[in-house]
Amino acid sequence: MQPSDDADPGLDGVLTWNLVRVARFAGYRMTLALADHGINPIHFGVLAFLAVYPEMTTSEIARAVLVRPQSMSPLLDGMEQRGLIRRTGARARGRRNPVQITDTGRQTLDAVWGVAQATSDLGDAGLTADESRQLNELLLKIVRATSDAPRPDASLYPASDGDA
């Protein structure tokens, strides 16, 4: 789609659309890089958060990795079967069911950290190392400024629903 005149950048002038496009590119890039290690970006996020916060509920993890809470049980089931995480509470609806990273999960995270970090090099996408760092700083500025902001899909992520 071409803009109708030179003053109108058209779709390229829609910042949020460009963020969506770049997010898809970056997500695919990270997915490919982590696939050799048998995990995906969501698994990576779960392990990374659990390495920092030793015990989180399913709902807390869902909010942290931006996944619908309903999608977390199957994802965590698979990670638990692989020995990457463990659940420490009784599994019952409405009951707190804390999740912890295991030694295997920590070893996996250690093994893929450099792989994930390498996907930050956007030289092949036209950015210098300084531009990549600057982009990351700008993205983090948005993340930090909006971390407590309500989301349009807030009903999917209740603030204190225990553990589903």
CA distances from 59 to 65, 113, 124 (A): 10, 24, 37
Q: Residues of the chain whose pLDDT is less than 70? A: 1-6, 89-95, 149-164
How many beta carbons lie within 10 A of that of residue 2, not counting itself?
7
Q: How far apart are the first and last CA of the chain?
A: 44
Domains of the chain, earliest start first: 39-119 (1.10.10.10)
Predicted local confidence at residue 70, as pLDDT: 87
What does the pLDDT look like over 121-155, one tens digit per residue? 999 999 999 999 999 999 999 988 887 765 544 44
DSSP string for residues in 94-110:
TS---EEE-HHHHHHHH
Residue 8 contacts residue 1 (beta carbons within 8 Å): no
